[in-house]
Amino acid sequence: MTDADYEDMVLKFLEHDAWITSSLVQMGGGGMWDEEDGFFYDVLRLPSGEVQRIKVRSMVGLLPLCAATPFEPELFAKYPEVTERFQWFIDSRPELCAAFHDPTRTGVGNRRLFSVLDESKLRRVLRIMLDENEFLGPCGIRSLSRYHDAHPYVFRLRGQEYTVAYLPAESDSGMFGGNSNWRGPIWMPVNMLILRALVNYYAYYGDTFTVECPTGSGRYMNLYQVAEEIAHRLVSIFVKDSHGRRPVYGGVRQFQEDPY
């Protein structure tokens, strides 16, 4: 923000962010956060009022991780009234703010972080995201967990069954134009959102916040190093492997072998 005339608008959007985030994460019915699994799921609301989570481990569960922005301390020093008024908003609604990261808590470099995920939730989501049997693939973050390869999700409603299964490349049906999109392949734009989020978290948490990457490997990295690891995997999509083949071309022989 460079113009004090926008202070009220900044405060309005900060408050809206808090309300929306609390609704997303709320415990005990209705929210997307599943405390038992440590992951976000779509929520289906039936006409009867019944609420049911659709437990498909998809990119839907990773997108809340991307909602993270660090703020430099100079910003709050420059506009103290915004700081004071937002602090009052937070203090007046402890039940609202208990669901997400405390935006008044300072981190590395006295930065503040606006994030859907607090530290505990962040670690739990990263544990699943960085599992090679789940989202972390050799070429980046999958759009659907590999878990559903052996365990397709089946939803039953009014006597009908609906199935979501893992499809890492081309679809096995003509639905959605014949590609599998949300059911397995690497989506570059969403991977870039994840990379940016990891760097933002690193700016707040610094080198002391480490996670196992890949999950179960015994290798611990800070979040900047995790971003680098994912970036290297994304680049490998276009790089020749030991057999001279580029993953981007899949099984298309002409693309793999034709020098032109």
pLDDT category of residue 178 using cuts at 50, 70 and 90: low
For residue 21, pLDDT over 90 is answered with no
Compute the average pLDDT of residues 125-147: 96
pLDDT category of residue 127 using cuts at 50, 70 and 90: very high
pLDDT on residue 57: 94
Compute the average pLDDT of residues 119-148: 96
Compute the average pLDDT of residues 193-217: 98
Compute the average pLDDT of residues 239-247: 91
Compute the average pLDDT of residues 75-88: 85
Compute the average pLDDT of residues 105-129: 95
Write the single-letter amino acid at 22. S
Contact status, residue 58 vs residue 145, Cβ threshold 8 Å: yes
pLDDT category of residue 154 using cuts at 50, 70 and 90: very high
| Domain map (residue ranges) of the chain | 4-240
CA-nearest of 81, 58, 240 to 146 is: 58
Instruction: Report the C-alpha gap between 129 and 132 in whole angstroms.
Output: 8
Averaged pLDDT of the chain: 88
Q: Which pLDDT tens digit goes with each residue over 24-50?
A: 777 555 688 999 999 999 988 888 888
Query: Which residues are registered as beta bridge partners of 7?
Result: none
For residue 248, pLDDT over 80 is answered with yes
CA-nearest of 176, 203, 236 to 69 is: 203
3-class DSSP assignment, residue 211:
strand
pLDDT category of residue 129 using cuts at 50, 70 and 90: very high
Instruction: Report the C-alpha gap between 91 and 179 in whole angstroms.
Output: 48
